[in-house]
């Protein structure tokens, strides 16, 4: 714990102006992306859906930049993976880290409710613009512009076609990256965030539909009624059961949030230890492999490329989790404790600011000024969070330094580049 705090403090002292500027840039980028997407979405659902992922991308770009800024101060990571010295190497490292971080970041973004916050802001902007268009149509006699398809894309042929097209464009960029101009990397990043965001959203919607259907089945209703009857008959046991459920939920949130942040950092920083990859086997795999070998060579090569491209997105996540597992419970537990203290500081700062400002009118003061007033909290917390995560990751690497040497670890960014 002391080593993590020492390194985090040193990183914060050396880089806090850059961290603060990058976080503000990401926040401003997210706000502008939501405003533009909401305006366009009032005219075209497809246009709004195509622009909305830029809000997520703005936050991800800021996070990747903040983490990479800290690399030159991370001793253990720098010993295994030196920071690129030339401009081309740094640019390539940034793009590769951004590509690798999209999938885990979008999953984290959706799981912790940030995506809902962005969606609420997007639809608020969209409805505001749409209200003006309806008023012009009714009272001004103007013909409404756009397709009048207000809202987000749902599961259908258009959405699936967008996902397929975005994935295909990203795959083509990967194959021909060396021959394409550097500017195409921007388009590749956008295509990656687009197909991942739409896929995650549709999967979440599908799971919600299935869950809703299951919860309305008669068998589930009977189980709920049986549980309620047992709770009425055995009140102490019901109290214990509810307490255990609450405790598991709270502990899960406290533990999973810092682990998720450390996993994202591990994916962005790359592979520091080269563990043995899990090998598939068994009769099912053997039969599938035999059938694949009977396909024409060109088709088999394309299928292998697509499969490898999909698997490559999950491999860094597995490696980051494996690193944490091998670091041991003491180090990870100390990091989780420090992260929890930081969360309590977040809540304390919000409470303190509200007490300093004092009571004011809700409509005329808080609804207008609250976003700007409470922006001071993330300006303090986010640099602290990033340096804490970076310090913990470097401590993990330091703990596994002998294993890295024995396992012939490859350079962090080189591993990432070869898989992107």
Nearest to 259 by CA among 399, 108, 35, 412: 108
- Longest Cα–Cα distance of the chain, Å, equals 76
417 vs 97: CA distance, rounded Å: 8
26 vs 120: CA distance, rounded Å: 18
- C-beta contacts of 202-210 below 8 A and 24+ residues apart: 202/155, 202/159, 202/163, 204/110, 205/154, 205/155, 206/155
DSSP summary character for residue 178 = G
Q: Check residue 32 and give its pLDDT.
A: 95
pLDDT per position as a tens digit, 354-409: 888 877 777 677 777 777 787 888 888 999 999 999 988 888 888 776 544 334 33
Q: Check residue 26 and give its pLDDT.
A: 93
DSSP summary character for residue 276 = P
Per-residue model confidence as pLDDT tens for the chain (420 residues): 787 888 888 888 999 999 999 999 999 999 999 999 988 888 888 888 899 999 999 999 999 999 989 888 888 777 777 777 778 778 888 888 888 888 888 888 887 888 888 888 988 888 888 887 777 777 766 666 555 455 556 667 888 888 889 888 888 888 887 788 877 888 888 998 898 888 888 887 777 777 766 666 666 666 666 666 666 666 676 667 666 666 666 666 677 888 888 888 888 887 433 443 434 444 554 665 566 566 666 565 655 555 555 555 556 666 667 777 777 778 888 888 888 888 888 888 888 888 888 777 776 777 777 777 878 888 889 999 999 999 888 888 887 765 443 343 344 443 333 333
Q: Check residue 79 and give its pLDDT.
A: 78
Place of tokens 């499969």: 307
290 vs 294: CA distance, rounded Å: 7
31 vs 18: CA distance, rounded Å: 20
376 vs 169: CA distance, rounded Å: 40
Q: Check residue 296 and give its pLDDT.
A: 66
Pull the structure tokens for residue 360: 């004011």
**184 neighbors 174 (Cβ within 8 angstroms):** no
410 vs 393: CA distance, rounded Å: 17
User: Model-level pTM?
Assistant: 0.74
Q: Check residue 119 and give its pLDDT.
A: 87
Pull the structure tokens for residue 257: 């949030």
Nearest to 53 by CA among 114, 131, 100, 133: 114
- Other CB atoms within a 10 A radius of the CB of residue 37 amount to 24
Q: Check residue 182 and give its pLDDT.
A: 78
Q: Check residue 299 and give its pLDDT.
A: 60
In terms of phi and psi (left: phi > 0; alpha: psi -120 to 50; beta: otherwise), the region of 273 is: beta
pLDDT per position as a tens digit, 220-233: 666 666 666 666 66
Using alpha carbons only, give the angle 308, 314, 315 rounded to the nearest 5 degrees.
Answer: 80
DSSP summary character for residue 366 = I
């Amino acid at each position: 714990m002391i080593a993590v705090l020492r390194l985090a403090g040193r990183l914060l002292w050396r880089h806090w102006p850059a961290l603060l500027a990058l976080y503000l840039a990401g926040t401003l980028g997210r706000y502008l992306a939501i405003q533009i997407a909401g305006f366009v979405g009032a005219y075209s659902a497809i246009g709004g859906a195509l622009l909305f992922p830029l809000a997520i991308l703005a936050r991800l770009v800021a996070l990747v930049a903040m983490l990479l800024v800290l690399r030159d101060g991370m001793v253990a990571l720098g010993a295994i993976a030196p920071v690129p010295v030339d401009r081309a190497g740094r640019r390539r490292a940034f793009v590769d880290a951004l590509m690798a971080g999209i999938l885990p970041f979008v999953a984290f973004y959706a799981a912790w409710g940030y995506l809902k916050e962005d969606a609420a802001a997007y639809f608020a902007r969209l409805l505001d613009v749409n209200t003006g268009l309806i008023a012009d149509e009714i009272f001004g006699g103007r013909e409404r512009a756009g397709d009048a398809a207000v809202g987000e894309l749902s599961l259908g042929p258009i959405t699936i076609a967008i996902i397929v097209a975005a994935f295909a464009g990203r795959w083509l960029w990967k194959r021909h990256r060396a021959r394409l101009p550097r500017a195409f990397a921007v388009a590749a990043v956008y295509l990656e965030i687009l197909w991942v965001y739409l896929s995650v959203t549709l999967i979440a919607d599908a799971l919600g539909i299935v869950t809703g259907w299951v919860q309305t089945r008669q068998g589930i209703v009977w189980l709920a009624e049986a549980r309620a009857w047992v709770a009425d008959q055995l009140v102490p046991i019901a109290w214990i059961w509810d307490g255990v459920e609450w405790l598991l939920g709270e502990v899960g949130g406290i533990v999973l949030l810092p682990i998720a942040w450390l996993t994202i950092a591990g994916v962005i920083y790359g592979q520091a230890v080269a563990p043995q990859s899990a090998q598939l086997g068994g009769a099912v795999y053997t039969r599938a492999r035999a059938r694949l070998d009977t396909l024409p060579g060109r088709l088999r090569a394309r299928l292998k490329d697509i499969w490898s491209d999909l698997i490559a997105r999950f491999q860094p996540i597995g490696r980051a989790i494996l690193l944490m597992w091998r670091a041991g419970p003491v180090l990870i537990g100390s990091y989780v404790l420090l992260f929890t203290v930081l969360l309590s500081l977040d809540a304390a700062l919000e409470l303190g600011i509200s007490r300093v400002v004092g009571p004011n009118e809700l409509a005329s003061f808080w609804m207008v000024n609250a976003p700007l007033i409470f922006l001071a909290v993330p300006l303090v917390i986010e640099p602290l969070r990033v340096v804490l995560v970076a310090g913990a990751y470097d401590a993990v690497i330091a703990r596994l330094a002998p294993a890295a040497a024995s396992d012939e670890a490859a350079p962090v960014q080189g591993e990432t580049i070869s898989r992107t």
